[in-house]
Amino acid sequence: MSVREASTPPHPYRRFVALGDSFTEGLGDPDPARPNGVRGWADRVAEVLGAQASVHDEEFGYANFAIRGRKMRGVLAEQLEPAIALDPDLVTIYVGANDIMRPRVDLDALVEQYDAALARLAANRARLLVWTAFDPGGSATYRLLRGRFALYNELVRESADRHGATIVDYWRLREYRDWRLWDEDRMHMGPAGHQRMAIEMLDTLGVEHDLRPLPLREPTTPTRVESLRTNAEWLRTSAAPWVHRRLTGRSSGDGLSPRYATYTRLDAAGPVTATRT
């Protein structure tokens, strides 16, 4: 045990449950040794919380119900009750982006569902964290939806205020306009993005940690030919399959199960053991 570890004050969280879609599942942060082959910001946070609890001889458990591709209705129908049943003292939920990306969406009705879910989670008296959506203004692909995301954010802010939830303000994290924080699919954060989000969450919670931003590759200015080649590859490997799934009513999460449906303890190498907390 290091002097720093021994002197770090204990945090109050012993049962951390994460709900949502690919953002929380960890897509874009590959780790073949972990369930569904990903790590993600929530795992990184759980590793820090678990390590600090261990230093103080406290139990800690982490559950993650998030599944890629899930829309609001699916997340709430599949994940809300199992999460509440675990009696968490820390809950995170971010959902809605997959709905906003559809050709048509009723944002007021969407956030009404979200608001009802936040009311259920808040009634459990857990610390509740929610996210605003990322600002797509710097993206040629997604900036046409910027107004939708901005309206969604305002409705989420109202709901969070009503239920005493803490907001992690993704919209204002301008460093995410740097594509080096993103996966090659341009839809999900890469490892550096997940690490940055883990830092933001721990800072928001007021939990001391040693996480630092991951090093980024040197910025380059691609030639026109290189840009055309890269964009064509993205259309073929990421955009076209996404559109095809939308047209056929399928989801990238079809057939997947929650990564950690019971309380589990993690270290930097992955799952250690299931726990009862």
DSSP H helices in the chain: 3-7, 22-25, 40-55, 72-85, 97-100, 107-123, 146-163, 191-205, 224-234, 240-248
Cα distances from 168 to residues 6, 53, 94, 108, 201, in angstroms, run 29, 23, 10, 21, 7
The percent of residues in the chain predicted with pLDDT above 70, rounded, is: 84
If one compares 240 and 66, the residue with the highest pLDDT of the two is 66
Helix (H, G, I), strand (E, B) or coil at 223: coil
Confidence of residue 156 (pLDDT cuts 50, 70, 90): very high
Cβ 190 vs Cβ 31: under 8 Å: no
Segment among 55-69, 107-121, 248-262 with least mean pLDDT: 248-262
Q: How many CB atoms lie within 10 A of CB 22?
A: 22
Give 232-241 pLDDT, tens digit per residue: 665 566 555 5
Supply the pLDDT for residue 139: 79
> How much is the pLDDT for 7?
63
3-214+222-274 CATH, one of 1.10.472.10, 3.40.50.720, 1.10.220.110, 3.40.50.1110: 3.40.50.1110
DSSP code for 212: -
Token pair of 55, please?
A: 């230093």
Domain boundaries, the chain: 3-214+222-274
Q: What is the pLDDT of residue 146?
A: 94
Q: Determine the 3-state secondary structure of 40 from DSSP.
A: helix
Confidence of residue 51 (pLDDT cuts 50, 70, 90): very high
* 174-210 residue pLDDT tens: 999 998 999 888 689 999 999 999 999 999 999 999 9
Question: Strand, helix or coil at 154?
Answer: helix
pLDDT category of residue 144 using cuts at 50, 70 and 90:
confident
> Among 20-34, 74-88, 133-147, where is mean pLDDT lowest?
133-147
- Per-residue pLDDT for 3 more than 50? no
Between residues 258 and 144, which one has the greater pLDDT?
Answer: 258
Global pTM reads: 0.87
CA 208 to chain centre: 20
E strands along 7-64, which residues? 15-20, 61-64
Tell me what pLDDT residue 230 has.
64
